Structure 1
């Protein structure tokens, strides 16, 4: 297995796990972490992975950009641009890969850690987790896909409030707003993540990949283009091994055995 300086990467069958591992820096993003995240994302985009889990080590999920590293750079603008490009490449790969991304927000998700946390197809959050943009507090502007993801998840007005006032959301509030799938007690987060990953991995890979593609294009397509895409994808699923197994299992009133 490949080794990384700022990430922990492991694979067990169809499930890949990624852990942000800079706990001494609140899992803050520096150039190494964003570059490695882009690299590890490409490893997840293969023909066998069904689920990718992403969480943080220690008390933080991710505190966003490491401002100490930014301040120390010869050109802060160039340094931040490089980090943003790597982060965006990673998030684009996660969004477009066939595998389901499950994020487990174990603590504070701030700055770019916020959109990374809520970019999961499924998002678990510990009760003690919190979410804040924090960009304008540091005289910066949002990145990490914030301006794409948040208006689609919670609408313009709530996005404006988060970005301009830097309001801090508890995990319960984040769930009420539609940013989080499920809130769980802190002590149960790891077990719930493993359980959800295993359950999702037992499903049909092609079906989940089709769901991801359809939802990714939903806001940018005309009705006619979207239903044409639906027709193409359901026909492809019907012809697949998993599709045939799923139909046979339904008709046979048994649990499907997806490869």
Structure 2
């Protein structure tokens, strides 16, 4: 089930499948992608929080729950609900039904779930199936977070493993409960990382530390994650929602278009050269100066008052 509600211009997306440590079914993944896309276009949404209920934040993709599955992971279970209050417990081992990653460890027996009609007999995998599955699944989810035009904050309440870790790390800001853990489980299963892991980690912690995390797959505590630069803040478990709310509502009162352009500049700067970065910065300034918030920011400075941003 994916819960969502908008409160004080903040969209809260809550993964609510605690018995499975919030392993994502395909339908749930698609629902999160859709909510992030809608948030970009909705002027009533000015910031987004992704969080979860129970002991897990997200332990990857649930390979046993297909779109037509009648179990608890069936469909997106979409409904309005308040921000989840995670118990904050950690768990060094994801549940056995969770992939921990995206869909890359799907086996031929599961092709009917991910690549064919529900209920059909599995067929032999052919070259291209896995790459297509990853592009259309895990990578789309991570791209949806990074491309969202509103600031996205992760409130990590528990275990974030494989794709679940990458879902958190793709967010613009990460607040973690003290008992949260981050686990790169891929090498444990003889897999290479998917869901953007080899892209995200070196940019956050550098290549040597990224390789350490990816090669060994050891659980990283919230405190160690903060020290490495994987998360922005670590807070007591009971204070996670408040900390996330404080930051999110602060972002929601900011100059929304300027923040969107700033997000794009920072993300693009990691991949381009100086000339491209400078050109993008100049173009972003040109675009932003057409917004009402930019005019308000300048006017408030001249008039020596606090600005009131409207997100336009």
Tell me if TM exceeds 0.5: yes
* Residue in structure 1 matching 2:2, options 7, 11, 16: 7
1:1-259 matches, cutoff 5 A: 6-48=1-43, 49-69=45-65, 73-74=110-111, 78=115, 82=133, 85-259=136-310
Question: Would the aligned equivalents of 1:31 and 1:83 in 2 still touch at CA under 8 Å?
Answer: no
Q: Is the 8 A contact 1:131 1:171 kept in 2?
A: yes
Could you tell me how far apart the structure 2 residues matched to 1:77 and 1:220 are?
Answer: 32
Question: Which consecutive aligned stretches of 4+ in structure 1 deviate over 3 angstroms post-superposition?
Answer: 67-72, 74-84
Greater length-normalized contact order (CA 8 Å, ≥ 6 residues apart) = 2
CA distance in 1: counterparts of 2:255 and 2:21, whole angstroms: 36
Contact 2:183 2:219 in 1 (8 A): yes
The structure with the largest helix share of the pair is: 1
Cα distance, 1:67 vs structure 2: 4.8
1:190 CA displacement: 0.6
Inter-partner Cα distance in structure 2 for 1:237 and 1:39:
26
User: Which consecutive residues of structure 2, in runs of 5 or more, have no partner in the other structure?
Assistant: 66-105, 117-129
Normalised to the residue count of structure 1, the TM-score between the two structures is: 0.91
Residues 177-222 of structure 1, C-alpha deviation per residue, up to 9 Å, x if partnerless? 1110111110000111111111110100111011111011102222
Structure 1 residue 75, shift from structure 2 partner: 5.3
Shift of residue 98, structure 1, vs aligned partner: 1.6
For the pair shown, the structure with the greater C-alpha radius of gyration is: 2
Deviation at 1:13, TM superposition (A): 5.0
CA shift at 1:76, angstroms?
Answer: 7.7
Contact kept, 8 Å, 2:150 with 2:260, in 1: the verdict is yes
Compared CA separation, residues 257 and 176, structure 1 to 2 (3 A) = same
Shift of 1:84: 5.8
Give distance in 1, aligned partners of 2:59 and 2:265: 31
- 1:56-114 Cα distance to aligned partner (Å, 9 max, x none): 11111011122545566245885876466233223212212220000000001011111
For residue 137 of structure 2, give the secondary structure of its aligned residue in structure 1: helix
Q: Is the 8 A contact 2:170 2:200 kept in 1?
A: yes
Indicate if the aligned counterparts of 1:39 and 1:90 stay in contact, CA closer than 8 A. no
TM-score normalized by the length of structure 2: 0.76
RMSD: 2.0
Does the 8 Å CA contact 1:19/1:56 hold for their aligned counterparts? Answer: yes
CA shift at 1:245, angstroms? Answer: 0.2
